Amino acid sequence: MTEKRASIGARRNPATESAVLDAAVEIVEEQGIGALTMEAVARRARAGKATLYRWWPTRGALLLAVYQRQKTITSYPDTGTLEGDVKAFLDTLFAHWSRPEGGIFRHIVAASQGDDDVREALEAYRQDRLDSLSVLFERAVQRDELSDEVPPRSMAQAMMAMAWLHLLVDRLDADTGGIARTLVRGWTRP
């Protein structure tokens, strides 16, 4: 067996951080989220438990770091219509959430209900996602599909709420075209 990873002081050791996040993913994929404990991650990553708790004070904070690291959606396609953009986004997101990342994110949402640290981290993540999702609706305003009086961020929030609902009730197999039509119909100009 190899030795425990060495500390480099107050800064995060990139090799240790990577090993910890890799270990967390492996545990979730092999044994499920219930098996993810700080002790199990520290043991698998050959890192000190104190290091884990210093960097991620709670299991939920560690899960959010794992989720953010695995997030693959970095841009939003421009299909030429808001309905097409919303459908393309939901297709990509639901496919992403159909992998272990979906279970991780569900757990993060659940953990946020009783853990202030997780709730704060999730809210910061949600605000960041709203900022980036607003681009879909800003493009629709530029294409004159939407009135510029409708706040793009509010529409992004409604779309996010619909997506989270489908994740939380395990309906990632839903018709994304139908969801997009339903969401967009009330927003777009005739």
- Do the domains at 14-55 and 72-185 have one common CATH topology? no
Output the CA–CA distances (angstroms, integers) from residue 171 to 123, 165, 180, in the order listed.
23, 8, 15
Q: Give the chain's end-to-end CA distance (angstroms, integer).
A: 67
All structural domains of the chain with their residue ranges: 14-55, 72-185
pLDDT tens, position by position, for the chain (190 residues)? 555 555 555 678 899 999 999 999 899 888 877 788 999 999 999 999 999 999 998 888 898 888 888 776 667 889 999 999 999 999 999 999 998 888 888 888 988 888 887 888 889 889 988 988 999 999 999 999 988 888 999 999 999 999 999 999 999 999 999 999 998 887 776 6
Which overall architecture, per CATH, does domain 72-185 show? Orthogonal Bundle (1.10)
All residues at 6 or more sequence positions from 96 whose CB lies less than 8 Å from its CB, including other chains: 71, 72, 73, 102
Which overall architecture, per CATH, does domain 14-55 show? Orthogonal Bundle (1.10)
